[in-house]
Structure formats: structure tokens, C-alpha cells
Structure 1
């Protein structure tokens, strides 16, 4: 192997996927590589160009990847040393969907597809690396620290960066920034950055307040050019002052600041100013990584998905986003709203894929998510609940129409189960013959539940009164709502039934204010936060909204907020319940994410003293709610 090829091989083996190749394979790749020098602002390939016979690795410099959005060129990503891009020739026949342009004078290695393809075919790690990146527009799936990143040119830019959802979306960034002092020499700073594989160094004062930042770009433009000697101190080349942000900065806020001030990094500090301790550093690359999990982007990906496998990957991204958002203290009500929209989009696509398999439906219909999905409170992968309502058809067509929708529902619920939503243990699903029927049948069903409650108590479930349309005709959902509220207005027995059902839930605390925990079984000594804490609040909010004719609000938190306005005499109780619901939901979600479960059972021993007190305090409003239910509906706990 010649000296140049040897140097290229040494460079490549630092980065995936090349670190999965043997020395012999690396030698073959390195000797086939073409070195391409690209002048500043010159283009390697453009959108709609015919595909090249190579893909590329950045050897030095910076390559910008951009797309056209709303007639403007929009920067999607920056590729730096070790980044792989231009993968489209591997997996697609149509032309490039991005433009690759040098941000500065750059060198890239062109690796012939024909030379590299045999190693992909026989090396699962290399193939998975390239496939996962190309399919998901993800960065290096093997390395969350982004040391050697893989950047896809498959993505379709979706815009909408200033949407409400993205405004609150949180960021993952480096919480252990590299720091040094103003009297550090440039030579020492460069060595420090090299040793730690970092492209930036925060310069701090004696209080550890950030006063400046040095980046690779500063080293290239000020030191490599000879403008400043390597023996100088870093204050001669650092950018100052820094742009500081608080720890809970959102994606959109960070993007706006970077664009507005034309900087490449933001310093995260304790109070969001440069007069407090440095806590982290946000790079432009962090913003690109966050874009991949933008809720708007996820919904676009859902619409393009072709099977359950695609949808499962997107649901995993949602779980990551929920975890990150909770860590950043994003308001839970907002997280629930985002998660609810994405969950509904996943359900809708599951129904659409079933229709694509089976052909057009024989009648109009509505797929309604019920229970926690219908309330947009499903932050964890809990079981699916749904009903299907199809329009009334001629009697002779009824059986065939119902058969079609039952088959459709079985396909859709099967897809949802593969995504990660378990089948409902009580079979409250559209695939159950009981819960897939015509509008007239559903009208009778709701009328029976409301007018003769308890007659067939094993059939009634209050979750059927929490619903949200996921797919189909909105007028069918509206018809169900009209039936419910028309009958509920004269349904004293119904409210007695629901009220007593709410009061029957086992109390969360004992007479001596101790937590009531499970006494036996797999969850012995654990606290059932769902049954003892959340369900009484959910039941109470539903009961009062139905009795006060409040339509169109299914979410428990929003129901309590609306009740505070509709029934101002008891607003304090409702607002306290709203706050309690958020606290309890967060505790359950954190537990579920930690244990990869539905979070229903809390190990109190693992809670800190502060969290145990927070949990206990959140249970206090439930007593007031219980008394209000008894007074309003003239009930006792034993009626």
C-alpha cells in the first residue's frame, strides 16, 4: 500500500462504518479512493443531479447539505471531518435530493460504490449502519456522542420550524463542555481539544463564568493562516462575548439565536446569562440532530411509512422525545398534546395501511380512539382502546359491510400491536364484534348505557365516553356526541352510576395518612398510582363535564381547567385537581420510562423524600373532589 493510501486508511478506521472493516478490506477501499479538492462555495452535487458512482467522506473542511424549501435554499446539515454523505447511489435510482456545497476550502474522499458494495453485502454492521441512516435520516446510530457521524441525503425537508410543537421541543446537548482559562496558550488549547476530540473550548474566568469560545474554525482561520502565533493566549483568538441561554432552552429558541447572531455555538448557563456558571454547550449539529425528532417531521414520516416496522421506529423516537422533554421540565400538558397528536397519527396510518391492503371501504366510517388515547394522555406504551362506527346501510348489506370493517379493524389493531401498543386485555377494541357496528347500533348502545346504567354492568365502561377521532368522518363522531349529551341531560340514574363508580375507587391513603400499597402478588408493597390516584381524577373530570354539558374536551387536565371557568364557585377544587393530575401523571411517566413498563405501580422506597411528599400532597385535592361529587349528585359512598 502506498503512503497516501496508508494515510487514508488510518483516517477512515477512526470512523464508522469503516471501523467495522478488516485491515485488508480497508486497504482495498483506501487504494480505490479518489481525493477531491473543493474550493469555497463550489458544489459537489446539486438537487436533481444524476447520481455519482461514489459516496463521500469529509477529510477536512466543511460541506453544507441544503434543500430547497419555499423557493429558498435551506441549510439542513453541516458535514465535518469523518462525516459520510451522498449515500443515495447505494439505495435509490432517482437523482440527488440535496445540494452538497463547500462552506470553506475542503477535501473529500470519493469512495467508489462498486468497490465498497461487496463489504456492505457481507458485513451486517456496515449494512445496518448505512441502511438505518439512509432510512431514518439519523446520525451515527452506533455513537450517541456523535464521534464520526453519518448524514443522510434521503431526507425531505418539511419546514414548519416555528410551529408551536417545535417551539417547546427540548434539546440534547453536551453537558460536560471542555473548559479552560484566558491565559491558556493556543498550543495548549489545540492539544486539549485534540485529546478530547472536541471542536470547541469554552474560556472561563475564575468564577467559571464563560467569557469566550474557541472553535476549530478559529484555529484554521487565525492560527493555520499565520495571523496569530501558536504561542499567543486564547483570548487573542476567542469569540467574545458568548451567547448564553438557560438550561431548558427549546429547539426553536436556539435556532433563532444562532440565525440572528450568526454564531455556531450557544453556551448553556445556570441562569441563562454569561454571569453564571457554564452548564453545557449547544452546537449547530445538536440542532440538526433535534430536527430529526421534531414532532412535525415525525408526523410527516408517519404519513410516508409503509409498514409496522417503519411506524415502530417512529414510536421509539417519540419515547425518546418524551424522556428528553421530561428531563428538561417541559410542561407535561404540552408533552401530552404532542404525544397525543403523534399517537393519533400512528393510529390513522395503521388504519390507512389496512385500507390499502383491503381496498376502499363499502361505507363511510369513523375510527375513534377511546380511553387514554382518546384523552391524549398516553405518554407510555399502554394498551390500545378503540371503537369503529360505520354509517347506516341497507339491511341486506349490513352483514357484508360489518364483515369488511371487522377485518379492517383486525388488520389495524394487529399493526398497532406490532408498533408496541398491546391489545386491550378487556378487548375494548374495534376488532371486537361488540365494538364495531353501525351508527344506529351505537346510538342504541349509548342510550342503554345512559338510560339503564348497571343493567348489564359488565358491558359498561366509562372509557367509552372519552374519545377522539383518529380516522374517518367527523360527522359520525359529532353524531355520537349528540346522542351522549342529549340523553345525559335527563340521565340522573346515569350520573348516580358514574358518581358511585368514581367513589368506589380504593383510597390512596389510610386513615393515618399512610400510602395504601398492594398487599400481595407481583407488585406487593408498591403503590398503584393508576387505580388509586389517577383514575378518581379522570372519573371526576368526566362526570362533571358530562353533567355540565361541556363538549369537545376529553383531556383530564383541560377538563378541570374548563370546569374552573364553567363552575367558578368550586374553581379552587378544579384547579387543584388539574395540578394534581399533572404531578401524578409525571410521576407515573417517569416510572414507566425508567422500568420500561406502563408505570402503574410505584416503588415508594425508590422515591426520594421530596418526591414522596410531592406524591402525597398531590393526593390531597382528591378528598375535596370526592366531597363535591357526593354533594352535587346527593350520593354517599355506599349508595
Structure 2
């Protein structure tokens, strides 16, 4: 064997997952490895490139992995010596989803997948390492302390890649599979399978799985007369069994079944066939799990005929959100998925109203405002909406408005049945004041923005966070144009909005203690919505309007966009973007736990670490507050 290959094998054996292979195996692989020299800033592959036939290990230097989202390049990860990247060709058929570029002069080893695949197939440690790394973009998941060989996935998930979601979906499966001993007689076992209506049974010794018998084995081995019905089961069982860990994802389970050409997987304590049996995953379980994939949910929403059907789908969205968060999917992706499904639910509710009432007498747009308008609605919070219909002749106005008020009432009532409470402030398309013609809406926005103090009682800043959920895009565009035209150099308006943003109560006391509710139902709880999230949401909206940032309503994305528009304060904006995600996650977990809007956090139930995390996420607010004061020259509360 040549010295270069020997040198490569020596290098690889220090890092996971190669340390699971013997030196002979590594030497065999090393002979087909290509050494790639990259100059500084040289790209190895970029987004949408056709997949290479190899994956890569950094031998020296640093490789940056980045994605382009919303027209900006975001660095996802830096790969140092021993890190693996570019695993996509192993697991997916589509093109690369990210760019790999040398940050400095670097050397990488290109390992041909065709050469490496057999070693993966025969070594579950290697497979699990690669699968989990590809799926969760993590360091070595089995080995949290020792971060050598952290493995970086090039798998980024956006809401339009619904198939990717399968990597994050957990499976429900049978937790009490049928088991028997290896000396049991086939005839008795067949009897037991028939009585319990099960098509499989696991042969165990001290609860460790040795083999499995399925209906197929009974048919192909016993019914054909190859073996007598009186022999013991260990003679006809398939062995060894293919095993997985308990929280295996849908995609991982599918890959393993395909790879080993089996229809059953045994779930064991540590994912190997040397540990206790915990359950059984069948092909049927995979089919059932597909049903809560976002793409499938959206298809079902489009076919739904009643609020009852829509409510059931909304409940499955809650499960999906919960699973995604427990699997540590970035919250920004969870927002994307949830908002697409919420959007489809609202859209279908409007469609069902139209099916009942008959065709609308004029073109219109139904806009979600507030949290759904910002694509931030993960919990069942109340609904906020406005309805805008095109201008009609004066003599038609009343009859047209009556139709749309009926449409508004039906739609908000359907949404209420799905689980979205009516807005307590009446900000809904079913309310006379918020259902009107385009000209009337334009007057409304003009008055809010040009004389903000006078009729400020009905100015809620959520009217500046909107998303069209049904109807004519150009109606939404017309509103956008009015808002951004009025915002230009409008000191009075920004003075009003700025002071409004600063009026929220501070989250921490002078002594850095949480300011909690002093009385009422939520006494001693922390109001994370009003004290922590709203100042960030208000601040992001204020800056987005003042920088003329159109079409981006999401708080996290607004802050990231601001970092580009105003790089001098980029760090503050990026810290706020991060803080918003951390705080939203706390609120969502609280809401999922208590089946409510998650607004009030019970601090007593939080671990010390979580309390610190929560406190740290409140830190960027001070800087944001100072920035608002200096940029909009706010000295007093007007």
C-alpha cells in the first residue's frame, strides 16, 4: 500500500466515524481517496450544483458552509480538521443545498461514496453517525463531550422542501411487541400471532432480540412445506434483527428498511441488537407517520369540507410543532412550516364561506394581521384580520359591504371553531370598522400615519404587520404603497410609534430580578409576551418601516435585514434576532405544556439554566431601546 494512502488512513482513524472501522478497512478506503487542494476562497460546491460522487473530510485549513436565504449569505458552520461535510449525495437525490468554500488555503479528502457505502452498511455506528449528522446538523450526537470530528450536515430545511421534514418527524410505533423464546414451537407461535392479530413476533433471550418471524416467513418456510410445523422458531427466524434507537425519525427508518430490504425494525434501548427490546416499527407505521407531513396536511386542508375537519388538522399541526421543537429544529424553520399551514387553514375558511354565500360581488383581499401576518403564530392565539374590497359605485356600496360583513362573520366563526379565539379588541374582518373599501382603508392609513395622536385610540401597530391570505394581491400592494409613502420622513409618526415601542414595562428590575405579575390570575408569573417579545416585535417593525423594508414582516427576518441596511449597528440587530427566537421558544414550550397562549411563564417550574438563558435573551433589549431613542431622537414620552 502506498505511503499517501497510509498517511490518510492514519489521519482518519483519529476521527469519528472512521474510528469505528478497523485499520485494514480504513487502508482499503484510503487507496481510493482523492486529495483536493483548495486555494483561499475557492468553492468546492455551491447551492444547486449537481451532487458529487464523494463526500469530504477536512485534512487541513477551514471550510465555510453557507446558505443564501432572503438574498443574504448566512454562514451555517465552519469545518475544521477532521470534520465531515457534503453528505447530501449519501441520502438525497436533489442538488446541494449549500455552498462549501475554503476560508483559507485548505486540503480536503474526497471519499468516494461507492467505496465507502459497504462499510456503512456493515457498521451501524458509522451509519447512525452519518444519518444523525445529516438529519440534525449536529456535532457527534452520540458523544456530546468529545467534540472531535464534529460532523456537519449540508442539510438545511426550508418550508418548500417538505420532504426534508421527514428527517425531523418522530414515529409512533408498537411499544409492546409480541415476544417468544427461541425454543418455542412454530405451531404455537402461529396460533399466538393469529389470536393477537399480529403479523410479526420477536424471538428474545432476556429481552434481547435474537431474531424475528413475520407472516412472510410463515408463508415461505412453513406453508410451502420446507420446514415442519413442529420445529422450534429459531430454525426459521430471520437473524440478526435490524435495530434502531427510540427516537428514530421517519426518514431514518425508511432508509434502513430500504437498505436492508426488511419490513420491520426493532427499537432497542441503545439502538443495537445487544440491548433491551423497546418496540417494533413496521412499514404500516411509516405510512401512518407520513400523514402528518406538512405537505400532506396542506393537501388535506384544501379538500376539507367543514370546520370540524380543519380543527383535526390544526391539532396535528400542534403535534408537528411539538416534535420539531423537541428535535431542536431551528425555530425560524418551524415558523415557516406553521405559517404555511395556518395560511392554508385561513384560506380554506374563507373559501368555505364563499361556497355558502355565493360569489363575492367585488374583488377583495383578506389580510391576516398581527402574529399570523408576521408568520409567528405557533400557538392557538386569537385571530386578527382585516377585509378590503375594491371600490364600487356609491349606490352599490351598502349591499357590497353587507356581503363582505357576512363573509367576515362566517370566516371568523369557522376559525373560532378550529380553535383561534375571536380577537378581544375586535380586530377582525367581521367588524364593521375593519371591513371596508380600498379608498376607505387608504384614508384610514393616511389618518393613522399623518395625525397619529388624534385618533390613536384605534391605532394598533399590528395593522402594519399583514399578510394576504386570500384574494387580490394588488389590493395588498396598494396598502403597502400607501404605508411606505406616508412613512418617508414622517417624524410625527415615528415619534408616536417609537414612544409606543418604549412604553412597555421593563422585563427585569434594577437588581436584575424578573418583573413578575403582582396580582390576579397570573400572580408571580412572568409576562413573556408583553415584557419580552412585544418590545422586540415593535422595535423590528419601527426600523423596518423607517428603512422602507418591504415584504418582510417576520420579526427575526426584519432584524436580519436591518443588519444589512444599517451595518454599523449590525451586531445589535443580530443579537435581537437571536433573542427573539430564544424567547419565542420559551413561550411556545410554555403554551404547548399548558395548552394555552404561553403568555405567562411560571418561573418556579424553570431550571436554573433556563432562567439564565431567559435572562440573557433579555439583554439585547437595552441596546435596542437606546438605539430607538437615538435614531428617532426620543427624549420624552409624548
Which range, TM-score by smaller chain?
0.5 to 0.7
Bigger drift between 615-624 and 438-447 goes to: 615-624
Q: Give the drift of 1:170.
A: 0.8
Which residue is equivalent to 1:485?
A: 484
Contact 1:629-1:635 at 8 Å conserved across structures: yes
Gaps of 5+ in 2: 1-158
Distance 2:226 2:525 in 1: 67
Partner of 1:291: 290
Q: CA deviation at 1:627?
A: 2.2
Residue in structure 2 matched with residue 543 of structure 1 by the alignment: 542
TM normalised by structure 1 equals: 0.66
TM superposition shift of 1:537: 1.3
Which residue pairs with 2:427 in the alignment?
Answer: 428
What residue in structure 1 maps to residue 598 of structure 2?
599
Classify the secondary structure of the residue corresponding to 1:597: coil
* Structure 1 residue aligned with 2:72: none
Q: How far 1:374 sits from its partner (Å)?
A: 0.9
Q: Is the 8 A contact 1:248 1:328 kept in 2?
A: no
Separation (CA, whole Å) in 2 of partners of 1:475 and 1:583: 35
Q: Is the 8 A contact 1:347 1:470 kept in 2?
A: yes
Q: Name the residue aligned to 2:442.
A: 443
Q: Do the aligned residues in 2 keep the contact of 1:173 with 1:281 (CA within 8 Å)? A: no
Partner of 1:370: 369
Structure 1 residue 384: deviation in Å?
0.7
Deviation at 1:414, TM superposition (A): 1.4
Q: Give the distance between the partners of 2:325 and 2:613, measured in 1 at CA.
A: 16
> How many angstroms does 1:519 deviate by?
0.4
1:52 — aligned with what? none
> Shift of the alpha carbon at 1:570?
2.7
CA distance in 1, matches of 2:504, 2:633: 18
Q: Deviations over 1:12-39 (max 9, x none)?
A: xxxxxxxxxxxxxxxxxxxxxxxxxxxx
What does residue range 231-630 of structure 1 map to in structure 2 within 5 Å? 234=234, 237-240=237-240, 242=242, 244=244, 247=247, 249=249, 251-266=250-265, 281-630=280-629
SS in 2 for 1:447: helix
Q: Residue 335 of structure 1: CA displacement? A: 2.1
For residues 538 and 283 of structure 1, what CA distance do their matches in structure 2 show? 45
In structure 2, what is the Cα distance between the partners aligned to 1:624 and 1:235? 72
- Native 8 Å contact 1:161 1:252 kept in 2: no
Q: Per-residue deviation at 1:328?
A: 2.9
Is residue 564–residue 571 contact of structure 1 (8 Å, CA) maintained in 2? Answer: yes
Structure 1, unaligned stretches of length 5 or more? 1-159
Shift of 1:334: 2.1
Instruction: Indicate how the Cα distance of structure 1 residues 193 and 444 shifts in structure 2: closer, same or farther if over 3 A, else same.
Output: farther
- Which stretch of the first structure deviates more once superposed, 192-201 or 505-514? 192-201
Mapped to 1, the partners of 2:607 and 2:228 lie a distance apart of 53
C-alpha displacement at 1:199, in angstroms?
5.7
Distance 2:636 2:227 in 1: 83
Q: CA deviation at 1:227?
A: 4.3
Contact kept, 8 Å, 2:166 with 2:293, in 1: the verdict is no
CA contact (8 A) 1:362 1:401 kept: yes
TM-superposed CA distance for 1:438, in Å, is 1.2
> What is the CA–CA distance in structure 2 between the aligned matches of 1:559 and 1:248, rounded to whole Å?
35
1:452: Cα distance to partner? 1.9
- Deviation, 1:344, is 1.4
TM-superposed deviation, 1:205 = 11
Q: Matched residue of 1:458: which SS?
A: helix
SS in 1 for 2:386: strand
How far is 1:512 from its partner? 1.2
Contact 1:167–1:252 (CA under 8 A) maintained in structure 2: yes
Give the CA deviation at 1:565. 3.0
Q: Is the 8 A contact 2:211 2:237 kept in 1?
A: no
Contact 1:172–1:286 at 8 Å: present in 2 too? yes
> RMSD in angstroms over aligned alpha carbons?
3.5
Show the 5 A alignment for 1:143-292: 163-164=162-163, 166-168=165-167, 170-174=169-173, 176=175, 185=183, 215=214, 217-218=216-217, 221-222=220-221, 227=227, 234=234, 237-240=237-240, 242=242, 244=244, 247=247, 249=249, 251-266=250-265, 281-292=280-291
Q: Deviations over 1:68-124 (max 9, x none)?
A: xxxxxxxxxxxxxxxxxxxxxxxxxxxxxxxxxxxxxxxxxxxxxxxxxxxxxxxxx
TM-score with structure 2 setting the length: 0.67
Secondary structure, counterpart of 2:458 in structure 1: coil
Report the Cα distance in structure 1 between the residues aligned to 2:501 and 2:555, rounded to whole angstroms.
Answer: 14
Taking a change above 3 Å as real, the CA distance of residues 266 and 519 of structure 1, as seen in their structure-2 partners, is same
Superimposed CA distance per residue, residues 329-375 of structure 1 (whole angstroms, 9 cap, x where no aligned partner):
33322222222112111111111121122221111110000001111
SS of corresponding position for 1:367:
strand
C-alpha separation between the residues in 1 aligned to 2:591 and 2:504? 22
**What does the per-residue CA deviation read over 1:484-514, in whole Å, with 9 as the maximum and x for residues that have no partner?**
1121122222222222211111111111111
Look up the match of 2:115: none
Q: CA deviation at 1:608?
A: 2.4
Alpha-carbon separation, structure 2, partners of 1:244 and 1:493: 62
Counterparts of 1:47-86 in structure 2, within 5 Å, are none
Structure 1: distance between partners of 2:611 and 2:504: 21
| SS of alignment partner, residue 237 of structure 1 | coil
Residue pair 1:172, 1:324 contacting (<8 A) in 2 also: no
- Report the secondary structure of 1:630's partner residue: helix
The offset of 1:557, in angstroms, is 1.9
C-alpha distance 267-609 of structure 1, shift in aligned 2 (>3 A): farther
